[in-house]
Structure 1
């Protein structure tokens, strides 16, 4: 298989807000609002240079989960990983809103051993073998990443929108499946359950190859971690943010390592009026 490892996905997630043109991980539902007696959606998951384009690598499906309106886990059906993307189906057996998500915690770091600098990326559980005995000048960055989208069947509700209190989370005051072009939406961002004040985030619309420009929209939250803004034209968008904001890089020096880095990304659909 040519699937990226979990550390590689975490690295891509960590770079989401650092470079608008970098490879981006994303999940894309076939529809965000389904009105049918036997409701299903298909989810694509990939890392690509062109947003929502299948041009680089799949995201491994280990760790993906779907929460239904009643809070129960919903199985991934017909799951498969190909050369460029992964895909699975979700049956929306109960009316209401579902959350599809991938949440990961990883550790990046470096150390010196016998005068040579070594770098690694892994997990809390793998630290013992990633950093050998006798290592010096150990530097670690703990990364928490969340990648998600929302789908509603026959009606919307708020059960799956309740925050967990861990990492960066979007608490959409305006329901994520009721976003309509030209209307005002209010979003609230939380960091570990508390308002993420003055948090910068971006919205990038799909279809870059047809526009020829990125079309990125940048916003900042207020002191309450909220923002109200007019929604752009219809389409699928990727919302991304990172905390803390990246420090300016000094020329000739490696990027500054933060003790902790938290990232968030979500696919949302803006519907026509």
Structure 2
């Protein structure tokens, strides 16, 4: 089963995480990336386990693992929490977190890189993917028809222990900025969020929301929205369960002179309770 809307976004997410997902590059357009915590709301300090994968179906690990090299876990007080028992298997990565502070934790895999196409001296087409610091050394200075795209992506989820706390945006790239707290979502209720680019509200961003367990449905059942002038959009949750949120933005605000286009991507996992 192929999902056209999701497929268009997957190339952005996987290309942005070149170092993480090289094993999945040949099938990038057909797969989805995600983090899935064992719990998103805890009444007291506890351990959780988080799955991380690139899959054909939402929240089923049936393709390749998501790399964790760029995983950042931000605790409620703003400090960074180190994951424990991290393991990369054939179909998924997994790690544990010991959540001792009350409040909301932000778990994110942050990707970034460059993609280039060009012709060599013999006129043969070439493709290159890598980091900005390797660009000058690996792409010939005399490359013909050079086209460079910069990309940055965020794959994230949230977990709260006890009373929810505010989620502070980093002001970098494409980010989901909660108006409704991401761990206070309920079936039948409306939730409002915003998307920001580099810390400023992003209008006109197309958002796709999909419920998990997609392998058991004949239709994907996408919920689509678009951000308003304040960068905000709202969703009324049709049912309880885990949801996948996807958004993508293109602009010309690159930090690498050779790159003329920047592609920003966001994927989030949210849990809606009954």
Q: TM-score range by the shorter chain?
A: 0.7 to 0.9
Q: Which runs of 5+ in 2 are unaligned?
A: 1-13, 252-258
What SS does structure 2 have at the residue aligned with 1:126? helix
Compute the displacement of 1:34 (Å): 1.1
> Relative to structure 2, which stretch is displaced further, 208-217 or 162-171?
208-217
Matches within 5 A, 1:92-241: 92-114=99-121, 115-158=123-166, 161-241=167-247
Q: Which has the higher helix share?
A: 2
Compute the displacement of 1:155 (Å): 1.6
> For residue 9 of structure 2, what is the aligned residue in structure 1?
none
Compute the displacement of 1:103 (Å): 0.9
Match of residue 48, structure 1, among 55, 59, 68: 55
Q: Is the 8 A contact 2:169 2:199 kept in 1?
A: yes
**d(CA) in 2 for partners of 1:72, 1:241:** 27
Scaled by the length of structure 2, the TM-score of the pair is 0.86
Compute the displacement of 1:12 (Å): 11
**d(CA) in 2 for partners of 1:119, 1:134:** 15
Structure 1 segments, 4+ long, off by >3 Å, are 8-14
> For residue 5 of structure 2, what is the aligned residue in structure 1?
none
> Relative to structure 2, which stretch is displaced further, 230-239 or 4-13?
4-13
Q: Is the 8 A contact 1:205 1:215 kept in 2?
A: yes
**d(CA) in 1 for partners of 2:87, 2:19:** 19
Q: Is the 8 A contact 1:9 1:25 kept in 2?
A: no
What SS does structure 2 have at the residue aligned with 1:145? strand
Q: Which runs of 5+ in 1 are unaligned?
A: 246-256
